[in-house]
């Protein structure tokens, strides 16, 4: 656990030292949102709002996860392989990705509210939507981390992550959009709780799978 | 001297041959059943001809249209049933003034009180020749109030007066689906077979990771995925055809369809991933990790999530299998052998695909060790790819919708079954033709490279 936290802290510190990585993600999210704003102009329909929120989150997630870190350079990897256990490394990577995605999700939401209004969301349903987005980012983060590492190992970049990842996250997106749709239509948070549970279980499940499978990836020469 | 064990795999043992014979026999049986067994009688339409709404309730005049029924030859009982909200006892009401205009035409009258458990009613007809036939939600009562605690005069006694009919062996008639229920033996086993093959691939990938650096098991995993994908695509095509003439669209938003789409995409991604990695050991390992991750997620996504979603597929919303309502004993007698038969065919094709992968690996090895080998031999163009491109425009031609409609819906949608059978038989025939040709070509090339050790 201490090793995981140490690695996580290290990843965060690397990000803080070279802020252009994260700043690039934020800029990407803002630019996408602004493009959408230009197309929609004003207050979109709740359905459109919902669809756009998730699509923007999805795009940002793919970008965020398939960023190349200092750690992905072969010489750094070779050093890490002799000093760190794969389980801890994977957990730290997942934690790092999830934290970034969750932060980005909140940022995207806030910015959407600023530009496009809140559609029909208010009160507890708004907070439900935020919670749903955070849970989705966790599920996306855990699923995509392993796939991005596979793609990086294959020597193919962003495109490969999308090819491998998009079909697998489709069900997550389905659950998430259903949840968003429910909240948009005024369903009480408690009545759509099952969808929250699904998102949580999906995140947990893919996280566990990733941690179990990653050591095999780690050993691959 | 290279490993002689590889060559012994080429000839199949007696037991394997017996199993394949059984598979072929089962498939012959499947096709005979699918096209030979008649369809039972049933209700095709229920129309409300006239309705009178008063303060006390409504009176509805219904017209029932049957298929293969004998309304005029015998006296029929007609009653309607409403299940209402979940957990309630069903309410049953008799119809009166039953008049048969012909064997396929029956008129009757139903009186409903003002407060009913639900506005949707199942319609039942019983007579000594046709037995009990029904149309679920066949009649929607406009003008009466649905309430959860509706007190109804119940004609439950009718259930004890039902006549038993002595029908020949037949498939059940379902409105809208009609003859296309036969597709159950063709379309559904495609998915069963695909899952079996993906399961084989999953098991082999686990062993690749556990043992490590095992090229043979890696080839098994990829051969199974390739054949499984072929079955998956056939399942998508046949399902799309069936959906068009029963649900009205080539593709609909349905958890089962999403699952099928995701599965095919995931395994296509698996093949893309393999293609992008040059190093053999790395490819084995990475694709095995992806295969395990993908399959484990798929099982959760396809087996668990759809249970909580509404679907057009039967038996959904709680249970991803067939309920007794959907699958009667006649269908079972045809369906289960069909599944086993298609699965045996799938494993046979897997064996052929594996043989091709093995030969390819041997060929690569032989090329590397052959005298006068120059790295970077130009690959020959694939003739089948050009043929595919030429065939594509024919498939993309805009369909003459009205003509197609008339064609497929005729004869109780029997042409849909024929279309599905043609897709499957043609798809599998193409597979066998391509792969047997490939097998021959590989063997010939291998023989050319090292003539002292013939491959065939």
| DSSP secondary structure of B54-92 | ETTEEEEEEEEEEES--TTTS--EEEEEE--STTPPPEE
Q: For residue B311, which of B266, B252, B265 has the smallest C-alpha distance? A: B252
**Residue A119 falls in which region: left (phi positive, over 0), alpha (psi -120 to 50) or beta:** left
Establish if B21 touches chain A: CB-CB under 8 angstroms: no
Establish if B273 touches chain A: CB-CB under 8 angstroms: yes
Q: Which residues of B touch A167 (CB under 8 A)?
A: 261-262, 265-266, 269
Averaged pLDDT, B62-76:
87
Q: CA angle, corner B43, sides to B41 and B47, nearest 5?
A: 160
What pLDDT is attached to residue B353? 95
Q: For residue B184, which of B427, B23, B408, B416 has the smallest C-alpha distance? A: B416
Q: Using CB atoms, which residue from B258, B281, B294 is nearest to A170? A: B258
Judged by average pLDDT, the poorest of A137-141, B88-92, B179-183, B185-189 is B88-92
For B260-311, write each residue's pLDDT tens digit.
888 899 999 999 999 888 888 888 888 999 999 989 888 877 777 766 666 6
Residue B51: CA atoms inside 13 Å, Cβ hemisphere, count? 17
Residues in CB range of A147: below 8 A, 6 or more apart = A65, A161, A164, A165, A168, B290, B293
d(CA B353, CA B225): 10
For residue A170, give the chain B residue with the closest CA. Answer: B262
Establish if B3 touches chain A: CB-CB under 8 angstroms: no
Q: For residue B122, which of B140, B100, B104 has the smallest C-alpha distance? A: B140
Q: Which two tokens stand for residue B96?
A: 């009166």
Q: What is the ipTM of this complex?
A: 0.86
Establish if B24 touches chain A: CB-CB under 8 angstroms: no
Read off φ and ψ for residue B246, nearest 5 degrees. Answer: -120, -40
What pLDDT is attached to residue B3? 43
pLDDT, mean over chain B: 81
- Residue whose pair of structure tokens reads 């025939």 in the numeric block: B429
Question: Torsion over CA of B174, B179, B185 and B186, rounded to 10 degrees?
Answer: -130
What pLDDT is attached to residue B320? 37
Coil/strand/helix, residue B126: strand
CB-CB under 8 Å, A198 with B289: no
Laid out side by side, the sheet with B96-102 consists of B42-54, B57-67, B105-113, B96-102
Give how many domains chain A has, as a whole number.
1
B292-314 in b/e burial notation, b at 16+ Cβ within 10 A?
Answer: bbbbbbbebbbeebbeeeebebb
Judged by average pLDDT, the poorest of A64-73, A179-188, B164-173, B343-352 is A64-73
CA distance B386 to chain A (A): 25
Q: Which two tokens stand for residue B33?
A: 């059943």
Q: Which residues of B touch A209 (CB under 8 A)?
A: 292-293, 296-297
Give yes or no for residue A7 having a pLDDT over 50: yes
Beta-carbon contacts below 8 Å between A and B: 85
Cβ–Cβ under 8 Å, residues A207 and A81: no
Establish if B162 touches chain A: CB-CB under 8 angstroms: no
Averaged pLDDT, B195-202:
94
Global pTM value: 0.81
Cβ–Cβ under 8 Å, residues B76 and B100: yes
Cβ–Cβ under 8 Å, residues A33 and A112: yes
Residue A121 DSSP label: -
Residues in CB range of B132: below 8 A, 6 or more apart = B124, B125, B126, B162, B165
Establish if B420 touches chain A: CB-CB under 8 angstroms: no
d(CA A64, CA B354): 39
CB atoms < 10 A from the CB of B102, how many? Answer: 10
Secondary structure of B283-343 as H, E, C letters: HHHHHHHHHHHHHHHHHHHHHHHHHHCCCCCCCCCCCCCCCCCCCCHHHHHHHHHHHHHHH
Establish if B308 touches chain A: CB-CB under 8 angstroms: yes
Q: Using CB atoms, which residue from B276, B289, B305 is nearest to A171? A: B305
Q: Domain B42-161: give its CATH code.
A: 2.60.40
Give yes or no for residue B256 having a pLDDT over 70: yes
A189-201 in b/e burial notation, b at 16+ Cβ within 10 A?
Answer: beebeebbebbee
Cβ–Cβ under 8 Å, residues B119 and B144: yes
Q: For residue B284, which of A216, A85, A73 has the smallest C-alpha distance? A: A216
Highest mean pLDDT among A168-182, B5-19, B229-243: B229-243
Report the residue of A151, A153, A163, A208 to disrupt the B interface, i.e. the one with the largest count of B CBs within 10 Å.
Answer: A163
What pLDDT is attached to residue B149? 67
CB-CB under 8 Å, B297 with A198: no
Q: For residue B335, which of B201, B192, B446 has the smallest C-alpha distance? A: B192
Averaged pLDDT, B129-144:
84
- Which regions of chain B carry the CATH code 2.60.40? 42-161
Coil/strand/helix, residue A40: helix
d(CA B319, CA B246): 22
Q: Which two tokens stand for residue B89?
A: 């006892």
Give yes or no for residue A122 having a pLDDT over 70: yes
H/E stretch holding B234 reads helix B215-246
For A18, the domain range is 2-219
Question: Which runs of consecutive H residues, i.e. helices, occur in chain A?
Answer: 2-17, 20-40, 46-65, 74-83, 86-116, 123-153, 158-184, 193-219
Q: For residue B191, which of B244, B264, B297 has the smallest C-alpha distance? A: B264
Q: Which two tokens stand for residue B297?
A: 């997620």
What pLDDT is attached to residue B24? 94
């Amino acid at each position: 656990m201490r090793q995981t936290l140490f690695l996580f802290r290290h990843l965060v510190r690397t990000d803080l030292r070279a802020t252009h990585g994260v700043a690039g993600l934020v800029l990407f999210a803002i630019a996408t949102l602004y493009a959408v704003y230009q197309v929609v102009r004003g207050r979109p329909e709740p359905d459109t709002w919902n669809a756009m929120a998730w699509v923007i989150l999805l795009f940002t997630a793919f970008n965020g996860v398939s960023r190349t870190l200092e750690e992905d350079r072969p010489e750094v990897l070779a050093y890490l392989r002799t000093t760190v256990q794969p389980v801890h490394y994977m957990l730290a990577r997942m934690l790092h990705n999830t934290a970034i995605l969750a932060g980005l999700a909140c940022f995207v939401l806030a910015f959407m509210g600023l530009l496009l209004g809140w559609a029909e969301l208010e009160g507890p349903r708004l907070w439900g939507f935020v919670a749903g987005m955070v849970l989705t980012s966790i599920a996306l983060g855990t699923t995509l981390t392993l796939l991005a590492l596979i793609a990086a190992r294959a020597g193919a970049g962003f495109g490969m992550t999308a090819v491998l990842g998009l079909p697998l996250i489709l069900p997550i997106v389905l659950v998430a959009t259903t949840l968003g749709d429910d909240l948009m239509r005024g369903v009480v948070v408690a009545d759509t709780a099952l969808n929250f549970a699904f998102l949580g279980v999906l995140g947990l499940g893919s996280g566990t799978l990733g941690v179990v499978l990653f050591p095999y990836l780690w050993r691959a020469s | 001297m290279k490993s002689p064990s590889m060559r012994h795999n080429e000839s199949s043992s007696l037991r394997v041959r017996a199993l394949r014979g059984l598979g072929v026999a089962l498939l012959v049986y499947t096709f005979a059943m699918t096209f030979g067994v008649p369809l039972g009688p049933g209700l095709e339409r229920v129309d409300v001809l006239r309705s009178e709404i008063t303060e006390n309730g409504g009176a509805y005049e219904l017209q029932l249209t049957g298929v293969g029924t004998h309304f005029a030859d015998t006296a029929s009982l007609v009653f309607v049933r409403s299940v209402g909200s979940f957990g309630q006892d069903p309410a049953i009401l008799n119809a009166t003034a039953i008049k048969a205009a012909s064997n396929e035409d029956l008129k009757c009258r139903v009186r409903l009180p003002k407060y009913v458990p639900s506005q949707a009613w199942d319609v039942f007809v019983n007579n000594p020749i046709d037995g009990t036939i029904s149309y679920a939600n066949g009649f929607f009562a406009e003008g009466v109030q649905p309430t959860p605690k509706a007190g109804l005069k119940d004609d439950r006694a009718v259930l004890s007066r039902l006549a038993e009919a002595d029908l020949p062996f037949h498939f059940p008639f379902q409105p809208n689906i009609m003859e296309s229920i036969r597709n159950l033996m063709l379309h559904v086993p495609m998915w069963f077979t695909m899952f079996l093959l993906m399961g084989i691939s999953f098991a082999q990938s686990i062993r690749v990771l556990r043992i490590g650096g095992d090229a043979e098991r890696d080839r098994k995993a990829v051969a199974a995925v390739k054949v499984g994908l072929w079955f998956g695509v056939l399942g998508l095509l046949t399902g799309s055809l069936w959906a068009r003439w029963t649900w009205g669209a080539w593709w609909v938003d349905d958890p089962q369809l999403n699952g099928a789409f995701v599965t095919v995409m995931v395994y296509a991604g698996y093949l893309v991933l393999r293609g992008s990695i040059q190093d053999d050991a790395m490819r084995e390992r990475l694709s095995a990790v992806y295969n395990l991750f993908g399959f484990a997620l798929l099982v959760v996504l396809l087996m668990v999530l759809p249970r909580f979603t509404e679907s057009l597929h039967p038996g959904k919303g709680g249970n991803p299998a067939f309920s007794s309502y959907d699958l009667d004993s006649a269908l079972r007698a045809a369906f289960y052998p069909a599944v086993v038969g298609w699965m045996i065919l799938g494993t046979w094709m897997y064996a052929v695909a594996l043989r091709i992968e093995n030969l390819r690996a041997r060929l690569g090895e032989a090329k590397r060790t052959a005298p006068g080998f120059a790295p970077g031999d130009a690959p020959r163009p694939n003739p089948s790819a050009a043929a595919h491109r030429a065939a594509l425009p024919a498939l993309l031609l805009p369909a003459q919708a009205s003509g197609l409609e008339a064609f497929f819906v005729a004869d109780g949608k029997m042409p849909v079954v024929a279309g599905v059978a043609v897709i499957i038989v043609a798809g599998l025939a193409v597979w066998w033709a391509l792969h047997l040709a490939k097998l021959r070509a590989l063997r010939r090339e291998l023989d050319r490279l090292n003539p002292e050790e013939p491959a065939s």
